[in-house]
Amino acid sequence: MTLIDGKATATQIKAEIAEEVKQIVENGGKRPHLAAILVGHDGGSETYVRNKVLACEACGFKSTLLRFEDTISEAELLAEVDKLNRDEDVDGFIVQLPLPKHISEQKVIEAIDYRKDVDGFHPINVGRMAIGLPCYISATPKGILELLRRYHIETSGRKCVILGRSNIVGKPMAQLMMQKQYGDATVTVCHSHSRDLKKECQEADIIIAAIGQPNFVTADMVKEGATVIDVGTTRVPDATKKSGFRLNGDVKFDEVAPKCSYITPVPGGVGPMTICMLMKNTLSAGKKEFYQ
Ligand code: GUN
């Protein structure tokens, strides 16, 4: 069994990005600039955004964090998005989700200029991704593809089961794994209403678990020699941790790992790759790789 080290891979990729940024700047090019909007004080969002800012530093990017109280109106937030759309120094930006209940996330996502949408959430990027055109691909599925590629895990023609159908992970992951230029796999998407979910998993060469239910995938669901990618990051109370919680994956790691050829741990698997792929998208934005 090989443990897929997302943390080490992410560190290496950030160093590769930093080297490229150094070359760009030395050649008189522009330092990529990522902006982030954070609304309110959600603990998880605070951590994610802090880590995104730190990752920008590691990559040699400029970063700007715009913070607003959760009393901000939808119209005010849309006006802030518009300002970033027009700011020529900002190459890409994100609006950290979730947003307060009184603000439509979809409206905000669609207000972002798709050419600066480094999260890859805008329908234009989602649509372009679905038909295999150059675009920003959302960070979690992109990070998983990168891990599979860097660990030389064969996906072409293999049976891949994706657990979960969210817009951020399940759906784009299925699109990418089926496409010839990415996964080239035979893809099955299972969700809360799937019959025979266990049987589907038992036949899978690759399982990508993104349902947000701790310990959902058990050893009896996994074929000997399978690759298991765990996207779950549920916070569960843990008095032994300074923070008072620990992150729990969707996979019952201790019993599943011995059966796998490859498996990602939680934490230290997919998580670090997600932020790293946001950095890759920001580099692409700085280089105007996909759009002018
Ligand atoms: N909330 C959880 N994951 C993400 C992400 O990838 N991007 C944004 N903007 N918000 C999130």
147 occurs within a structural domain? yes
Contact 176, 133 (CB under 8 A): no
* Index of the ligand 1 atom closest to the CA of residue 119: 7
Number of H helices and E strands in the chain, helices first, is 10, 11
How many A from CA of 96 to the centre of ligand 1? Answer: 5
Band of the pLDDT at 201, cuts 50, 70, 90?
very high
Band of the pLDDT at 15, cuts 50, 70, 90?
very high
137 lines ligand 1 (CB under 6 A): no
256 occurs within a structural domain? yes
Same domain, 181 and 220: yes
Q: Could you give phi then psi for residue 146, rounded to 5 degrees? A: -65, -40
Burial 174-186 (b: 16+ CB within 10 A, else e): bbbbbbeebbbbb
Q: How far is CA 195 from CA 34, 198, 230, in A?
A: 43, 8, 21
How large is the average pLDDT for residues 234-247?
92
How many A from CA of 228 to the centre of ligand 1? Answer: 23
pLDDT reported for residue 284 = 98
Same domain, 143 and 234: yes
pLDDT reported for residue 210 = 98
d(CA 186, CA 154): 12
Structural domain of 98? 28-113
Q: Could you give phi then psi for residue 118, rounded to 5 degrees? A: -70, -10
146 lines ligand 1 (CB under 6 A): no
Structure tokens at 257: 């790992």
Q: CATH no. for residue 164? A: 3.40.50.720
d(CA 127, CA 117): 13
66 lines ligand 1 (CB under 6 A): no
Band of the pLDDT at 246, cuts 50, 70, 90?
very high
* Index of the ligand 1 atom closest to the CA of residue 278: 6
Same domain, 155 and 94: no
CA 148, chain centre distance (Å): 14
53 lines ligand 1 (CB under 6 A): no
Same domain, 108 and 178: no
pLDDT reported for residue 135 = 98
Q: How far is CA 99 from CA 68, 105, 277, in A?
A: 11, 6, 22
Same domain, 167 and 252: yes
How large is the average pLDDT for residues 70-91?
98
Q: How many CB atoms lie within 10 A of CB 144?
A: 30
Same domain, 197 and 95: no
pLDDT > 70 fraction of the chain, expressed in percent and rounded: 100
DSSP character for 137?
A: P
Same domain, 266 and 174: yes
What residues act catalytically?
52, 96, 119
d(CA 222, CA 201): 6
pLDDT reported for residue 209 = 98
CA 54, chain centre distance (Å): 17
* Index of the ligand 1 atom closest to the CA of residue 140: 6
Band of the pLDDT at 62, cuts 50, 70, 90?
very high
Contact 155, 185 (CB under 8 A): yes
Nearest CA to ligand 1 atom 3: 97
Q: Could you give phi then psi for residue 159, rounded to 5 degrees? A: -90, 120
Same domain, 108 and 151: no
For strands 186-190 and 92-95, give the pairing: unpaired
> How many structural domains comprise the chain?
2
d(CA 151, CA 148): 5
Q: CATH no. for residue 92? A: 3.40.50.10860
Structure tokens at 42: 């959600």
Band of the pLDDT at 160, cuts 50, 70, 90?
very high
119 lines ligand 1 (CB under 6 A): yes
94 lines ligand 1 (CB under 6 A): yes
Mean pLDDT for the chain?
A: 97
36 lines ligand 1 (CB under 6 A): no
pLDDT > 90 fraction of the chain, expressed in percent and rounded: 99
How many A from CA of 110 to the centre of ligand 1? Answer: 15
* Index of the ligand 1 atom closest to the CA of residue 138: 6
Phi-psi region of 238 (alpha: psi -120 to 50; beta: other; left: phi over 0): beta
How large is the average pLDDT for residues 58-82?
98
Same domain, 165 and 211: yes
How many A from CA of 139 to the centre of ligand 1? Answer: 9
96 lines ligand 1 (CB under 6 A): yes
How many A from CA of 97 to the centre of ligand 1? Answer: 5
How many A from CA of 270 to the centre of ligand 1? Answer: 14
82 occurs within a structural domain? yes
39 occurs within a structural domain? yes
